[in-house]
Amino acid sequence: MCTYVTVREPIEGSAKGPNGTWQHVSDVTVYFDHPVHTMADHTLNIDLANPAQGPAARVAIELTADSARRLIGAIQSALASAPLDLAAVE
Amino acid sequence: MSDLTAHTIKITGHEGADIEAYVASPDAGGHRGGVIVIHHMPGYDRATKEIGRRFAELGYNTIVPNLYWREAPGADPGDAAATVRAQGGVPDSRLIGDVAGASSYLRALATSNGKVGVIGYCSGGRQSVLAACNLDLDAAVDCYGAFVTGTPPDGFPLQVTNLVSQLANLRAPLLGLFGLEDKFPGPEQVAELEQILTEHDKQFEFHSYEGAGHAFFSVDRPSYNVAAANDGWEKIGAFYAKHLGA
């Protein structure tokens, strides 16, 4: 299926992308749809991108739904373990 | 199997803009119909170009317009698709203009018999119907296009509307190929489309395949379904032979 559902948020950080170089990323796009590479009908897809640098300035991740949920849990656990003053909501 | 030639060109698309397109044609002489292949949401990729070459092998002048050219000229198809998705997708008006340009290109070929059909996959299935509601085409094929009917998700960057209000204007016979296991479009949306086309006395032919989900024509994805794809290709061949033949 094509869900067409796409969620986009501004972000601030860096990602290691094409050619093994680090790049600033300003946008994240998240959607549950067809993967390009993963051998699954559908995956949770995450694009960490810097649109100002063109279409290739993108780090793409395709995870099965279960893997995506485990990633969410891992992120939340890591954030919860950090001292409040270091990981405060901005 | 006929010999063919394929290459990349520029055509004039919506509002006079140049866009890239992949064209494939039989080497044999004579006059023949043309086919416009609208790529799926993952973009103007190798698999879609293979489909274009298959139509040339079947005897048609074929063109695959790169609908993501404006946002991502020369980009990897996956990067281009991600860029366009993040920017909200291809506007319907632009799609119509680009397909009109592709149609003009095909009809201007010395080997054209004047007839042009369109086929689209996934999001391109909806766009194939959209084009056939707004342009003078001779046949249209919708391969599991979501949101021809039904209600698209709201409040997200990728904007799409259904085509219910436009279906009365459908100007070409429509072949629809669907998977019964698909959710977008699900069987209830296909049934709604069937009902609307019947009410408007439109010429259409639908086939829904058991055991097939979305994207059953995609040979490079797990969704590929041999039985559905083989029968679907036969249905497409017969449909185009009937409507695009000399």
Q: Answer yes or no: are the C-beta atoms of B110 and B25 closer than 8 Å.
A: no
Cβ–Cβ gap B86/A3 under 8 Å: no
The residue behind tokens 């996934």 is B122
SS3 state at B11: strand
Residues 72-131 of B with CB under 8 A from A: 72, 75-76, 78-83, 85-86, 89, 122-123
Q: Does B42 touch chain A (CB under 8 A)?
A: yes
pLDDT of residue A9: 94
Domain ranges (residues) in chain B: 4-244
Q: How confident is the model at residue A2 (pLDDT cuts 50, 70, 90)?
A: low
pLDDT of residue B152: 76
pLDDT of residue B246: 65
Across chain B, mean pLDDT equals: 95
Q: Which residues of B187-217 are buried (b: 16+ CB within 10 A; e: fewer)?
A: eebbebbeebbeeeebebebebbeebbbbbb
Cβ–Cβ gap B41/A34 under 8 Å: yes
- List residues bridging with B109 in a β-sheet: none
Of A1, A6, A56, the CB nearest to B85: A6
> Cα–chain-centroid distance for residue B204?
16
d(CA B210, CA B92): 31
Q: Answer yes or no: are the C-beta atoms of A26 and A12 closer than 8 Å.
A: yes
Write the pLDDT tens digit of every residue in B181-225: 998 899 999 999 999 999 999 999 999 999 999 999 999 888 999
Chain pair A-B, CB pairs under 8 angstroms: 88
Cα distances (Å, whole numbers) of residue B115 to A77, B141, B148, B214, B224: 61, 14, 24, 29, 30
Sign, CA dihedral B24-B25-B31-B32, equals negative
Q: How do beta strands A43-49 and A22-33 pair?
A: antiparallel
Complex-level ipTM? 0.80
Domain ranges (residues) in chain A: 7-81
Shortest alpha-carbon distance between residue A22 and chain B (Å):
17
Strand segments (E) across chain B: 4-12, 18-26, 32-38, 61-65, 112-121, 139-143, 174-179, 204-209
Q: Does B161 touch chain A (CB under 8 A)?
A: no
| Least confident range of A22-36, B76-90, B151-165, B180-194 | B151-165
pLDDT of residue B125: 97
d(CA B20, CA B11): 6
Q: Does B180 touch chain A (CB under 8 A)?
A: no
Q: Answer yes or no: are the C-beta atoms of A44 and A65 closer than 8 Å.
A: yes
**Chain B residues close to A2, C-beta within 8 Å:** 41, 122-123, 146, 184, 214
Q: How confident is the model at residue A3 (pLDDT cuts 50, 70, 90)?
A: low
Q: How confident is the model at residue A34 (pLDDT cuts 50, 70, 90)?
A: confident
CB-based contacts of B22, cutoff 8 Å, min separation 6: B6, B7, B8, B9, B44, B49, B52, B63, B64, B66
Q: Percent of chain B beyond pLDDT 70?
A: 96
Write the pLDDT tens digit of every residue in B56-76: 999 999 999 999 999 999 999
- List residues bridging with A10 in a β-sheet: A27
pLDDT of residue A20: 83
Total number of residues shown for chain A: 90
Mutation target vs B (from A1, A11, A26; most B CBs, 10 A cutoff): A1
Q: Does B86 score more than 80 pLDDT?
A: yes
Shortest alpha-carbon distance between residue B75 and chain A (Å):
7
Shortest alpha-carbon distance between residue B172 and chain A (Å):
25
Cβ–Cβ gap A4/B76 under 8 Å: no
The residue behind tokens 């599991």 is B144
Question: For domain B4-244, which architecture applies?
Answer: 3-Layer(aba) Sandwich (3.40)
d(CA B66, CA B8): 10
Strand segments (E) across A17-90: 22-33, 43-49, 58-63
Cβ–Cβ gap A1/B146 under 8 Å: yes
